[in-house]
Amino acid sequence: MRKSQRIRCVAAYALAALSAVALVACGDKKAEGGAPPPPEVGVVTVTPSPVAVVNELPGRLEGVRTAEVRARVEGIVLSRNYTEGGEVKAGQVMFRIDPAPYQATLASAQAALQRAEANAVSARLKADRYKPLVAVNAVSKQEYDDAVASAGQANADVASAKAAVRTAQINLGYTTVTAPISGRAGRALVTEGALVGKGEATKLALVEQVDPMWVTFTQPASEVTRLRRAIESGMVKGMNGGARVHLYVEDGREYEQTGKLLFSDMTVDPTTGAITLRAQFPNPKRELLSGTFVRVKIEQGVDENALTVPQRALIRGAQGASVMVVGTDGNVATVPVKAPQAIGDSWVVTEGLKGGEKVIVEGLQKVKVGAPAKAVPFKPAGASAPAAATASAPAAPASAPKAEGPQQAKSDARQG
């Protein structure tokens, strides 16, 4: 009996010991399974930096000079003397009009001039002969006056004949149609054998100077006024040597040459509320074509204290743009912002941030507004990969004891 009581006591003590061990183990597991640590997020600290003030606007290309080649005399086109779509030099022959009628007109005018000059000589000699005869009353004063008047009229006829000759020469010259400017000549608007110049100066072709090229665009007057005020207040630094202009063609590609702003109009268009501007671009390869619609980015100043955030940090929704920041208390907050301009892979923030904020760039999906987060400096993917590999390397050995724990317990149980 005593032996069975002793066994019962030992069993009771063993059960109590096991219960204590179980309670301790549960307490340890509960401690280990407490509140998880705050998620780690990559942040950038917003700091002021100089950024160009850029406006993107639509525009249209046009040649710096455009000339219409027209027939200035009437006649039949004999030949076209240029390559359509090719380059021509100022004064180069482009068309020839039948000169025969104008050659005949010139010959007639020259003959009339000779006749007038002969009459003028005769009239002058007659007046010279009458002059001494008047003194001796051999001829009347009236006859002398008539001779002098006839000489003057003959001289006027000579001048008129000379003008007619000059007109005939000019018209004959117009039968050879030349390029008024250097540039690229378009297609011929008439063919050989066509009658041109009858009642009007017929348009024959178009020549356009395409190097350099102009791009004309408009900018809202409110933006121009706001920029001028910012420059006057010192918030924005004006561009020394004029604003630089970048051009983007229809396929979105940036044109390799940088342009310069030539002028901005002094008046505002009352129908659009915009100001017309014009920029000039070199076009040595003839890549730019007149009439093409393009987009321009014009650098009109430099904001010395601009605030920028990476593009991936900006969140756009129905309420507008915003960023998520880790506050001084370590909690996540949403800040509404205005970011109207993109520079490279960043957005320029004009409202919402003051500088010094820690903006979340990486790990946005892991945080909630009002919840704590651990802010670490954001590193690009290329730079952060090695660090991540190094940080995760010790994790495998550290987990080994956890894997061995149950096996060791089973071994101890067997031994027991």
CATH number at residue 117: 1.10.287.470
3-state helix, strand, coil in the chain (%, to 5): 35, 35, 30
* Last residue in a domain, options 150, 174, 198: 174
* pLDDT over 90, % of the chain: 54
Query: Do 103 and 44 lie in a common domain?
Result: no
- Residue 183 to residue 286: CA distance in whole angstroms: 11
Indicate whether 371 belongs to any domain: yes
Indicate whether 404 belongs to any domain: no
Indicate whether 86 belongs to any domain: no
In the predicted model, is pLDDT for residue 328 greater than 80?
yes
Indicate whether 131 belongs to any domain: yes
CATH assignment of the domain containing 47: 2.40.420.20
In the predicted model, is pLDDT for residue 91 greater than 90?
yes
136 contacts: CB under 8 Å, gap ≥ 6: none
Indicate whether 319 belongs to any domain: yes
Indicate whether 14 belongs to any domain: no
- Residue 249 to residue 247: CA distance in whole angstroms: 7
Indicate whether 397 belongs to any domain: no
* Last residue in a domain, options 118, 143, 174: 174
Q: What's this model's pTM, rounded to 2 decimal places?
A: 0.62
In the predicted model, is pLDDT for residue 4 greater than 80?
no
pLDDT band at 21 (very low <50, low <70, confident <90, very high): very low
Q: What is the pLDDT of residue 395?
A: 39
| Residue 314 belongs to domain spanning | 40-51+307-380
- Average pLDDT of the chain, as a whole number: 83
Residue 231 burial by Cβ neighbours in a 10 Å radius (0-12, 13-18, 19+): middle
Quote the tokens at residue 338. 């205005």
**Closest CA relative to residue 235, chosen from 301, 175, 184, 168:** 301
Q: What is the pLDDT of residue 416?
A: 36
Q: Residue range 93-101: average pLDDT?
A: 97
Q: What is the pLDDT of residue 393?
A: 37
Out of 84-93, 104-113, 299-308, 369-378, pick the least confident. Answer: 299-308
CB contact at 8 A, 300 and 219: no
Out of 1-15, 70-84, 164-178, 303-317, pick the least confident. Answer: 1-15
Out of 127-136, 291-300, 362-371, 407-416, pick the least confident. Answer: 407-416
Indicate whether 346 belongs to any domain: yes
Out of 95-109, 252-266, 321-335, pick the least confident. Answer: 252-266
Domain tally, the chain: 2
pLDDT in tens, 231-248: 776 766 666 656 789 999
pLDDT in tens, 368-393: 999 999 999 998 765 544 433 333 33
Q: Which residue has the higher pLDDT, 254 or 416?
A: 254
* Last residue in a domain, options 139, 157, 174: 174
pLDDT in tens, 43-53: 999 999 888 88
Strands 374-377 and 40-45: parallel
Q: What is the pLDDT of residue 11?
A: 53
Quote the tokens at residue 34. 């407490």
